[in-house]
């Protein structure tokens, strides 16, 4: 709208703060790119991309790629699982990857 036309795609807040509408914090993004940059849901105590697998008694790393949840493995600590998530997110999401 600043440029006199409606955006062709979604608008993404780079820092993830929907109240920060400075032009330098906004970028064009597809719906999926915008979702990749989403913050971790509130109230969760584990890092983004990590859940606890009760049956195995270990931490599971998963990532959402091409409309599918992809299992990245089971790990002894949440930190190891989160590191696996971060590697894959950086590779596939690039500048839209969010790790927190």
Look up the pTM and report it.
Answer: 0.64
Residue 10: predicted pLDDT: 79
The CATH number covering residue 91 comes to: 3.30.730.10
Q: Are residues 33 and 50 in the same domain?
A: no
DSSP the chain: -TTSS--SSEEEETTS-TT---GGGEEEE-HHHHHHTPPPPTT--SPTTEEEETTTTEEEEEEEETTEEEEEEEESSHHHHHHHHHHHHHHHHGGG----
For residue 84, name the pLDDT band (cuts at 50, 70, 90). very high
Residue 31's domain spans which residues?
Answer: 8-38
- Indicate if the pLDDT at residue 7 is higher than 80: no
24-75: per-residue pLDDT in tens?
Answer: 888 888 777 776 666 666 556 888 899 999 999 999 999 988 888 899 999 9
Number of folded domains that form the chain: 2
- Indicate if the pLDDT at residue 21 is higher than 60: yes
Q: Are residues 52 and 94 in the same domain?
A: yes
Residue 40: predicted pLDDT: 61
């Amino acid at each position: 709208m600043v440029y006199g036309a409606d955006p062709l795609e979604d608008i993404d807040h780079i820092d993830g703060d929907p109240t920060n509408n400075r032009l330098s914090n906004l970028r064009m993004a597809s719906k999926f790119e915008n979702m990749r940059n989403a913050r971790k849901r509130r109230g969760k105590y584990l890092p983004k991309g990590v859940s606890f697998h009760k049956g195995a008694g270990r931490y599971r790393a998963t990532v959402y790629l091409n409309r599918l949840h992809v299992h990245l493995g089971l790990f002894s600590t949440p930190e190891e699982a989160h590191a696996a998530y971060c590697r894959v997110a950086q590779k596939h999401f690039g500048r839209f990857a969010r790790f927190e």
